[in-house]
Amino acid sequence: MDHEEEEEIEIPNYFICPISLEIMKDPVTTVSGITYDRQCIVKWLEKVPSCPVTKQPLPLDSDLTPNHMLRRLIQHWCVENETRGVVRISTPRAPPGKLNVVEEIKKLKKLGLEALRREDTLQKLEVLAMEGNNRRFMCEAGVHKSLILLVVKCTSEEEEGRRGIKELDESLRLLHLIGVPSNDAKTILMENDRIMESLTWVLHQQDFFNKAYTVLLLRNLTEYTSSHIVERLNPEVFKGIIRFLKDVVKSPNLTSPSVSDTVQSSRPSLGKTEPSKHDHSLVIKQAVTSALMILLETSSWSRNRSILVDLGAISELIELEMSYTGEKRMTELMLGVLSRLCCCANGRADFLAHRGGIAVVTKRLLRVSPAADDRALSILSTVSKFSPENMLVEELVNVGTVEKLCTVLRVDCGLNLKEKAKEILKDHFDEWKKFPCIDMTLLTKLLSSSPKDQLNEFYSRVGV
């Protein structure tokens, strides 16, 4: 033979991370005695608080001891096998630890209104918050409470001017990073009325991304707080949320990468970043989802439904859905809110007044999910029952709603959906006869057949 046959490189088993099954770059040993690659075990513990190998309970803030000896062995082995294609592993930088967090927390509580130093403290905390472990330390130390009080102070002290706005910006972004624990979220709004006033103030300002962070924070707080607070939200809160959604619709380029990059470059340099947290297009989508969840939860009460309808929520929701085609969760939430708002007469009138209302709901039917189908049919059913027939029937025909309802009866879907579709078609049966485009023979057959017969016919068509 002219050349020796290449032999397979044998990697020592103890070089391999039990999670990724790849060579460890930064081996750390947990209190359970097992060594993992740092990045892998941190991500694992953020989801599952136990050792992957031993199943021993392992909190996110557990000590991860760097295994320097093993790292040096791995690095030496990589250098020896570099000519065989093995990539050298550099020495990892030590991550910011709990001592750094504690030091910055003390500064945050101590410095008061020393704006420039406080801003520096917030920037350092933001860098530290990039590490999952540190976010846990911050929550345990109550950093989120200090940040919320700082937001209140920044929005209530006009004399601070631009410095206060910078601190507000930093505080809201850091709150988005670390979040508010559910136990504290239950009581924060009840303990301080000024918090809701401050967040409402931010919603009515010009900074779009601050409004996005504020909506996310509002959802975090209202999700766990007393239902009495949610039921009696100030109309100005709803007004701010609807304006935020309107801004999203009017400026779709706000979610583009170029805008995200521009905004990022205008921020102070923070060193290492975490794209999943700071990607502004993602933040906006999360904020839109949070806004819709707030509207869905609050619209359970008739008082809030009336406020939302008076503020033009229905039109903005329809426009939002038309601009965010393909976002499954947003569609489900939007249809849920519309379904509740259409329970009142003014809501139904606004829905019919928008030329895209019935069309967009019809288009989403059978295209998104069973939950979206149920909500879409609830909207059509409510509007069909309680709206003037002369305003409704022609629109249902023109946008293809009648055809789509017939399709519901012919495909494999839930019986409750079929019953709703059949009810709508029966309610206006005599009116359908006035439109030559409707196959009345087929329609009569579909309305007279049982769901079981319709399902059998569907299976025979698809060859099942």
Comparing C-alpha atoms, which of 410, 394, 398, 408 is closest to residue 445? 410
Residue 413 has a pLDDT of: 87
Quote the pLDDT of residue 6.
Answer: 46
> Closest Cα partner for 278 from 309, 80, 402, 270?
270
> What per-residue confidence (pLDDT) applies to 458?
58
- Look at residue 155 in the predicted model and tell me its pLDDT: 86
Structure tokens at 130: 């990039």
In the prediction, which pLDDT does 136 show? 76
Q: Per-residue pLDDT tens for 326-363?
A: 689 999 999 999 999 999 999 999 999 999 999 999 99
The two three-digit tokens of residue 260, written as one number: 């995200």
pLDDT for the residue 117? 47
DSSP one-letter string for 182-193: HHHHHHHHHH-H
Phi-psi region of 33 (alpha: psi -120 to 50; beta: other; left: phi over 0): left
**Secondary structure of 233-294 as H, E, C letters:** CCHHHHHHHHHHHHHHHHCHHHHCHHHHHHHHHHCCCCCCCCHHHHCHHHHHHHHHHHHHHH
For 317, the token pair is 């929701």
Averaged pLDDT score across all residues of the chain: 83
The reported pLDDT for the residue numbered 161 is 52
**pLDDT beneath 70: ranges in the chain:** 1-8, 60-61, 91-119, 131-133, 157-164, 252-279, 325-326, 451-464
Separation CA 361–CA 391 (nearest Å) = 17
What's the CA gap between 438 and 455, in Å, rounded? 22
Q: What is the pLDDT of residue 260?
A: 40
Q: What is the pLDDT of residues 292-321, one digit of tens each?
A: 999 999 999 999 999 999 999 999 999 999
Per-residue tokens: 170: 């930093």
- In degrees rounded to 5, what are phi and psi of residue 131? -90, 125
Q: Residue 210: count other Cβ atoms within 10 Å of its Cβ.
A: 19
